[in-house]
Chain A
Amino acid sequence: MVRQGVIPPYLLERIAGAAPREASREARLTLVADQRLRVARTLEADDGARPGGRGGLHREISDAGGSEDLPGRLVRKEGQDTVDDVDVNRAYDGLGATYGFLDDAFGRSSLDGDGLALEGTVHFGSAYDNAFWDGSRMVFGDGDRKVFNSFTSSLSVIAHELGHGLLQYTTNLAYEGQSGALNESFADVVGVMVEQHALGQTVHEATWLIGEGIFAPGIQGAGIRSLAAPGTAYDDPILGKDPQPSRMDGFVRTREDNGGVHMNSGIPNHAFYLAATELGGHAWERVGRVWFETVAGGKLDDRVDFVGFARETVVTARRLFGLHSDEEAAIGTAWRTVGVGAQ
């Protein structure tokens, strides 16, 4: 006889009210419309000669059709009109918003600085609860629709995957332990900044959430991670409670998840948030620039730990903004607040 526990609540049909679904769809549509506008503005501004002969924006979205075969069938490429598939269009727009952000904020053309084509695949797998970067493209599952919506539902998730791609072409932080958590954290930082840039938000207007809109109706959670308050993004009978620490005294030691890379990223995530909100304005103009230049500068060891990364961000802040600058002070204080010595 099969001895099983109760049917996992994960599988239980959720009774979802129509109102929240409509509300969240409205929010997503607004977000997509906003990001489309911003990309259009960026592209208009970039029209004409590009310094340094950089390549332009080139996107290709493919459809895996529920299989796990990559890349799938090409369904929309650069310049083509919207298609009758919201996931294709959201992936296309999300890649464009991320390209526009990197170009506008850091003068970088795509992930490699030379106009690398941005490729994505949607409808990967069956009810697949994940999005990932496979080393050359972003891949999005449809979600099971009971706990997770489609993984194209959140611009911050799309941009998070591109953040991993950006690291691959700058400092490919080793994906385990503290360097792995820094890899995850940097991807989150890119994720929130792309969303803030698309919405024109200052640090005080932003939600600082990764994955807003990713949960199906009825799930108790604002998103999958909060940089403002790690450990508070969700608390749900099905999912449990967000396990992220915000300080070193909560550092999690585990073999799973490459040494808890998605948990311990809460610590550097919160340091970024603290420094950014201390300085005000747009995140990418000061602290975001420091984080970007730290990984793009070519001096960072790919196995760097939290203390080493913190030290490099302080060095970069001095180089970009000056000794004893507000930026250096805010970043040093933020790292100390989360229990990471930066001196």
Chain B
Amino acid sequence: MRVSVSRSGGVTGIPRRAAVEFVMRGERSPSDNEWAGLYRAARSQTDQLQRDSGNGLARDAFQWTVQLGRQRLEVPDSTLTGPLRQLAERVLAEGG
């Protein structure tokens, strides 16, 4: 499984991008298991994600694009919460 994240916008306008790949089935390392757990928690949240485009008056807020396998999500910073935010932030922090 590949999860890629990009964060654009913000007052600096400096984007950040990163991705991780991990094994979901078969022989897995402890690290694979950890990422798979984060992924499943995030995935279960995506159906409940608010469909609005966030606060229309916000300026300089981050814009996130999270690609979970084939699913692409574009999420304003204010609505990126819970397990999906945990996953996205961790990918940016630790992904390559």
User: Which A residues touch B93, using CB under 8 A?
Assistant: 11
Q: Quick one: which of A8, A161, A184, A239 contacts B14, CB cutoff 8 A?
A: A239
Q: Are A258 and B13 in contact (CB under 8 A)?
A: no
How far, in Å, is A146 (CB) from chain B's closest CB?
Answer: 12
Classify chain B's interface size: 20 to 34
Q: Considering the complex, which residues of chain A in the window 233-291 have a beta carbon less than 8 Å from any beta carbon of chain B?
A: 239-240, 256-258, 261-263
Question: With the chains together, A172 CA to B22 CA distance in Å?
Answer: 44
How far, in Å, is B52 (CB) from chain A's closest CB?
Answer: 14
Q: 11 other contacts beyond A3-B21, A134-B55, with CB at 8 A cut-off? A: A4-B20, A8-B95, A11-B93, A130-B10, A131-B11, A133-B57, A133-B59, A134-B61, A134-B78, A168-B57, A261-B9
Q: Are B58 and A133 in contact (CB under 8 A)?
A: yes
B15 contacts partner chain A, Cβ-Cβ < 8 Å: yes
Q: Are A1 and B14 in contact (CB under 8 A)?
A: no
How far, in Å, is B36 (CB) from chain A's closest CB?
Answer: 10
Inter-chain residue pair count (beta carbon < 8 A): 108
How far, in Å, is A158 (CB) from chain B's closest CB?
Answer: 10
Q: Quick one: which of A2, A161, A175 contacts B11, CB cutoff 8 A?
A: A161
B18 contacts partner chain A, Cβ-Cβ < 8 Å: yes
Q: Are A164 and B59 in contact (CB under 8 A)?
A: yes
Binding site for B on A (CB under 8 A): 1-8, 10-11, 129-136, 148, 151, 157, 160-161, 164, 168, 172, 175, 183-184, 187, 211, 214, 224-225, 239-240, 256-258, 261-263
User: Which B residues touch A131, using CB under 8 A?
Assistant: 11, 60
How far, in Å, is B8 (CB) from chain A's closest CB?
Answer: 4
Q: Quick one: which of B14, B15, B21, B57 contacts A2, CB cutoff 8 A?
A: B21
Question: With the chains together, A256 CA to B23 CA distance in Å?
Answer: 29
User: Which B residues touch A184, using CB under 8 A?
Assistant: 13
User: Which A residues touch B18, using CB under 8 A?
Assistant: 8
Q: Are B10 and A129 in contact (CB under 8 A)?
A: yes
